[in-house]
Amino acid sequence: MKTIVEFINVVKSYQLGDLVVPALRGLNLKVFEGEFTVLIGSSGSGKTTVLNLVGCIDDPDSGEILIDGNAIRQLTENQKSELRNKKIGFIFQSFNLIPVLNVEENIEMPLLIQREITMADRKQRVKEALADVGLSEFRTYMPNKLSGGQRQRVAIARALVSKPQLVLADEPTANLDSKTAHMIIDLLTDLNKRKKVTFLFCSHDEKLIGRVGRVLRIQDGLIVEGLSTQGISVE
């Protein structure tokens, strides 16, 4: 199975005034192509730091991070930006939709910086992404006219529209009620199976265990337990 993400003895800390706060303490991790992997952990466990490092938003203090076999440390800032734009999709807890743009325009945003994509191709990709998340009839709606679940569906479509190798999701159900959260998880797992999209998802919601392909528990900056949906330990 192809490895999309690999962390090798990754250390990351943050400076808070005179205090150095360790976030990752030599973390090792592999995410495989086509997997739906969830990092489960409490606030401060290091799970969001993992996503920031995978998304090339932050850099490790030491250790190696490989994305699709490429060592992140060896990439220039322009190459990191290109990696983010073309190979990685992002789904945020707070949706991060642009309020003055309608649904269709919000989804199209990641494609506008990819100059090689024609307008016709952009429109077709947006149309397909809208259909994938069940929002075709809402394409002209403004974000403030949508429910929380619908806004998150727009965010999911925006993450998928560039056809990335990997989608990162940071607590994407945290701002949703329980019923809507389960619907969003159903949608993501369906997209994982149908589209073969690789997901790396962070959450503190224990109810996700058993609903996704692979669960890794993170605590104090280290992976302390790995479970498949059947409860089998994994590397």
pLDDT band at 233 (very low <50, low <70, confident <90, very high): very low
Backbone angles phi, psi at 142, to 5 degrees: -85, 150
Domain architecture of the chain: domains with CATH: 35-47+77-228 (3.40.50.300)
Please tell me the predicted confidence (pLDDT) of residue 229.
42
* Tokens describing residue 151: 């806004």
Which helix (DSSP H) or strand (DSSP E) does residue 192 occupy?
Answer: helix 178-195
- Where helices occur in 118-226 by DSSP H, the ranges are 119-132, 148-160, 178-195
Mean pLDDT of the chain: 89
134: region left, alpha or beta (phi > 0 left; psi from -120 to 50 alpha): left
Cα–Cα distance between 39 and 144 in angstroms, integer?
31
Cα–Cα distance between 14 and 83 in angstroms, integer?
24
33-78 pLDDT, tens per residue?
999 999 988 888 999 999 999 999 999 999 999 998 889 988 999 9
Cβ atoms of 14 and 58 closer than 8 Å: no
* Tokens describing residue 136: 């075709």
Cβ atoms of 208 and 219 closer than 8 Å: no
pLDDT band at 231 (very low <50, low <70, confident <90, very high): very low
pLDDT band at 208 (very low <50, low <70, confident <90, very high): low
pLDDT band at 227 (very low <50, low <70, confident <90, very high): low
With 60 as the cut, is the pLDDT of residue 228 above it? no
Instruction: Choose the most confident range, by mean pLDDT, from 4-13, 113-122, 215-224.
Output: 4-13
Give the bridge partners for 28, in sequence order: none
148-192 pLDDT, tens per residue?
999 999 999 999 999 999 999 998 888 888 888 888 888 998 999
90-133 pLDDT, tens per residue?
998 888 999 999 999 999 999 998 888 999 999 999 999 999 99
Backbone angles phi, psi at 203, to 5 degrees: -160, 160
Please tell me the predicted confidence (pLDDT) of residue 168.
95
Give buried/exposed letters for 154-188 (b at 16+ CB in 10 A, else e): bbbbbbbbbebbbbbbbbbbebbeeebbebbbebb
With 50 as the cut, is the pLDDT of residue 6 above it? yes
Token pair 């259909």 is found at 131
Cα–Cα distance between 210 and 191 in angstroms, integer?
17
